[in-house]
Copies of this chain bind each other. A is one copy, B any other.
Amino acid sequence: MLDLMSQRWEGRSLLAQLPSDVRECLVSRARTRIFPRGATICLQGESARALKIVTRGWVKLYRISETGQEALLETLCAGQSFDEIASLMGGECPSSAETLCECEIMFIDLATACSCKNAVAEITKAVMAAASDHMLDMMDQIEALKSRSGVERLSEYLVALSEDTDGTHEFMLPYDKVVLAAKLGMKPESLSRAFARLKSVGVKSELKRVVIQDVTKLKSMLTENALS
């Protein structure tokens, strides 16, 4: 499943957008670091310095509100990058980043970007494509938070993890249910209730294991608005 999610990003990843000479040059100057689970990669407001690419594992982007509450903005898997514009323009990290499991992160310092012909123009184009993808993802998220119920958001998430699967699908969630609840904008107890409601349409879950009896049926219930 991890691989499936990574594949979704492979073609769209920032490095994939670059011509091979620029990519190789950047990678040769990048530094890679392994972080244990629960480690802070960067904090909101600090200088972004490097562009970050998740090369293994799962990372959460989050913010702490003035009143001390954490809001999970996004979870990123291998292939996805963050802080692109801030690192290119010398800005601040717009959010904090923490590992959800052991992770490998590649740091690319764009300020000292390589001097290959057209490197800056190519990197700028790739950064803009990545920013555009982030914006689309955030629009998807705002749309889901505003127009769909918790049960629908959970079903949509499970269907996305079952892409290209028909019939029965059994898999592990990539992170625990507390993180999943935060990602979907639900309280943990609401997520439990949502999973309970999905039992009647053939979705079972125990800890991180999920079984969908009939993915096609769940998909069609979603598009028919039958889960709201």
Q: Residues of A at under 8 Å CB distance from B?
A: 63, 65-67, 69-73, 85-86, 88-89, 91, 94-95, 124-125, 127-129, 131-132, 134-136, 138-139, 141-143, 145-148, 182, 185, 223-225
Contacts and interface: CB of A to CB of B under 8 A. Distances in A.
A139 B142 contact: no
Contacts of A224: 67
A185 B71 contact: no
B223 A89 contact: no
Contact of A185 (B65, B131, B145, B182): B145
B141 A142 contact: yes
A133 to B, nearest CB: 10
Contacts of A225: 67
Contact of A135 (B89, B131, B148, B223): B131
A124 B69 CA distance: 36
B63 A94 contact: no
B71 A125 contact: no
A67 B80 CA distance: 29
Given A125-B89, A136-B94, A142-B138, A70 B147 contact: yes
Contacts of A147: 65, 69-71
CB-CB nearest 10 A-B residue pairs: A71-B143, A71-B147, A138-B138, A146-B185, A67-B225, A69-B147, A145-B145, A71-B146, A85-B132, A131-B131
Contacts of A86: 132
Given A71-B143, A89-B125, 18 more contacts: A66-B223, A67-B225, A71-B142, A71-B146, A71-B147, A73-B139, A73-B142, A85-B128, A86-B132, A124-B124, A124-B128, A127-B128, A128-B131, A138-B139, A142-B145, A142-B185, A145-B145, A146-B185
Contacts of A141: 142
Nearest to A67: B225
Contacts of A95: 139
Select the residue from A67, A182, A223, A225 with max chain B CB neighbours within 10 A.
A67
A67 B223 contact: yes
Contacts of A85: 128, 131-132, 135
